Amino acid sequence: MNNSLLKGSLFVALGAISYGMLTTFVKMAYAEGYTSHEITFAQMALGLVGLLIINLFIGKKKAAAPVQNRSKSILKLVAAGTSLGLTSTFYYLAAKYIPVSIGIVLLMQSVWMGVVLEAILEKKIPGAKKVFAVVAILAGTVLATNLMTDSFQLDWRGMGWGLLAAMSYTVTIYTSNTVSLQLHPLRRSLWMMVGGTLIVGIISFPFLIEQFNLQIFQKWGLILAIFGTILPPILYTQGMPKTGVGLGAIVSSIELPAAVLMAYFLLSETVNLYQWAGIALILIAVIQMNLPNFRRNKI
């Protein structure tokens, strides 16, 4: 592995680990009495401010050349960014009712949902390897969520919100790789964050009027913004071009065990052997599905 590939893999891994840490921090904020709407709004608002500052001081040097229809491209990104805000909203609502390990497994359903979305939009039946990966992910999910054991006592509200988060995350991934690619990645991240903050503000406004503790900004909002909306886009922007899509997707799957381990050490959540087996099966499926892309990019 050359230095560029190693550096790119490290950036992607750090970005994925940042994402994986989020739910544990959200759980800790819940324990201090903050609501999901306070948490989500604080993260998105501070994330927007952070990306704006980064674009002003760093993006100016690296900005792409002027493009035609810039306004149209920006509007598309703002619209696409609403799925980013919905993902955080749904995911943090799920975290109220289910353990972190289950929440991250549900979010990983975006992998097979992406395959289905691609098949619908491109009107193309997925290949055998992708179908195998989807089956493996579903089987891993059954194990990881304890669906087949007597200890299954998950709150269906959490399951529902978690699956909605996965659907929204699927849209986010798709739009991030297809909408207004001619703009610089930092600019794209900024405008998508604008859309995400707007939709979160609209959804949260009625609840924030009733209860809004400004201390959320200095206590948890900044931490969530750094690890959820500022660091990952920068790290992925730096790392993905070096790793390629295939290896990047494989390395980013480290988000799953990172989230589980964070919850284990900071929240004392227990994960049994069946759950670890399910998590391993999901990771194997992600790797298997992306190996062809990795090999092509390596060649």
66 or 130, greater pLDDT: 130
CA dihedral 57, 61, 65, 67 (to 10 degrees): -10
C-alpha 280/C-alpha 274 separation (Å) is 10
CB atoms within 10 A of CB 96: 16
Q: What is the pLDDT of residue 200?
A: 95
Residues 116-163: pLDDT tens digits? 888 888 888 888 888 888 888 888 888 887 776 656 577 889 999 999
Is the per-residue pLDDT at 70 higher than 70?
Answer: yes
Q: Which residues of 217-251 are buried (b: 16+ CB within 10 A; e: fewer)?
A: bebbbbbbbbbbbbbbbbbbbbbbebbbebbbbbb
Candidates 256, 27, 284; CA nearest to 135 is: 284
Percent of all residues in the chain with a pLDDT value above 90, rounded to a whole number:
33
Q: What is the pLDDT of residue 37?
A: 93
SS3 content of the chain, % helix, strand, coil (to 5): 80, 0, 20
Assigned token pair, 31? 């324990």
User: Is residue 48 within 8 Å of 219, Cβ to Cβ?
Assistant: no
Is the per-residue pLDDT at 54 higher than 70?
Answer: yes
- pTM, entire model: 0.85
